[in-house]
Amino acid sequence: MKEIEIAGVTVQVNEEGYMTDPSQWNADIAKEFAAQAGIELTDKHLEVLKFLREKHTEGKTLTIRAIGKSGIVDIKGFYALFPGGPLKVSSKIAGIPKPVSCV
Amino acid sequence: MNNNEEKQLKKVCIICAKGAIEDVYASLVLANGAVMEGMEAKLFFTFFGLDAITKKQMKKLHTATVGNPAMRMPGGLPFPTILGMLPGVEAGVSAMMKSQMDKLDIPPVDEFIDMIVAGGGEIYACKLAMDMFKLKKEDLLDDVSGVLTVGDFYAMCGGENTQIIFT
């Protein structure tokens, strides 16, 4: 575990750069992480991030299938929003741990 | 550059040649896992694996209850082969497997293939096996991008950091 400075605050991340304490997260951090991944956040992105954070708080395992069924975005749309590994990329931006799901 | 440096996998070409639930799912999980990681995935269905993309068969995949030494009863006791021969047992066991997978958010075959395609994965069928089973393109899922010869398939599997996986 290490600490990084992002969007003017210091947060804890793991070796792969995923935040380890979701409560340290805020919208500015999300924006900064998104920029690092080459993504400009839109309202749709934010809706997905909110959904991910809610599910994480509920202790659910996040899957691409669950996001497809969330009613926010379909699976194709999810891939388009977060290119290059959508579940991982979105989890990082949402400030939650790296997903452990295989589906 | 260090030659021993580990390079990230970019593309997987997966061959599914068997039609039992577990064989088909092995291929689908690998392909979906690849697109989830931002990798390219191409899935090639041949021989009995074609059942997975044949509209009539894809919802009826079974697992073998005979000749499967890893088969267990719920609870872990060995599953007697003779039991597996009884009518309806294979269907029951297969239904049970599917319900267990559903609990883990593993989708049915058709939905799983949709997910892979939505993620940019591509699905192909083997021409030779289709001729053998007298199947036409119309018998297959609309998600199937094409019917290929083995040569066509190999032509797609080029490029750096590409692996062919046979399940």
Note the pLDDT tens digit of each residue in B20-39: 999 999 999 999 999 999 99
Interface test with A, best of B28, B29, B36, B112 (most A CBs within 10 A): B36
CATH architecture group of domain B11-166 = 3-Layer(aba) Sandwich (3.40)
Q: How high is the pLDDT of residue B4?
A: 63
Minimal Cβ distance to B33: which of A65, A86, A102: A102
Could you tell me which residues come within 8 angstroms of residue B62 by beta carbon, excluding any fewer than 6 positions away? B20, B21, B90, B91, B94
Predicted confidence (pLDDT) per residue in A11-65, tens digit = 999 999 999 999 999 999 999 999 999 999 999 999 999 999 999 999 998 999 9
Q: How far is A89 from chain B (nearest CA, A)?
A: 9
Minimal Cβ distance to B37: which of A63, A85, A103: A85
- Residue corresponding to tokens 């992002």: A6
Q: How high is the pLDDT of residue B3?
A: 59
Nearest Cα to Cα of residue B15 among B126, B161, B112: B126
* Distance of alpha carbon B96 from alpha carbon A72, whole angstroms: 31
* Distance of alpha carbon B57 from alpha carbon B60, whole angstroms: 5
CB contact under 8 A, A75 and B119: yes
Residue A52 CB-half CA count within 13 A = 28
Could you tell me which residues come within 8 angstroms of residue A89 by beta carbon, excluding any fewer than 6 positions away? A37, A39, A82, A83
Predicted confidence (pLDDT) per residue in B95-104, tens digit = 999 999 988 8
Q: ipTM of this model? A: 0.90
Give the DSSP H/E element, type plus range, for residue B43: strand B40-45
What residue spans of chain B are helical by DSSP H?
A: 21-36, 81-84, 89-103, 109-118, 127-132, 150-156
Contact B34, B41 (CB under 8 A): yes
CB contact under 8 A, B106 and A61: no
Does any CB of chain A come closer than 8 Å to the CB of residue B33?
Answer: yes
For residue B22, the SS3 value is: helix
pLDDT band at A102 (very low <50, low <70, confident <90, very high): confident
Give the DSSP H/E element, type plus range, for residue A27: helix A27-36
Q: First vs last Cα of chain B: how many Å apart?
A: 34
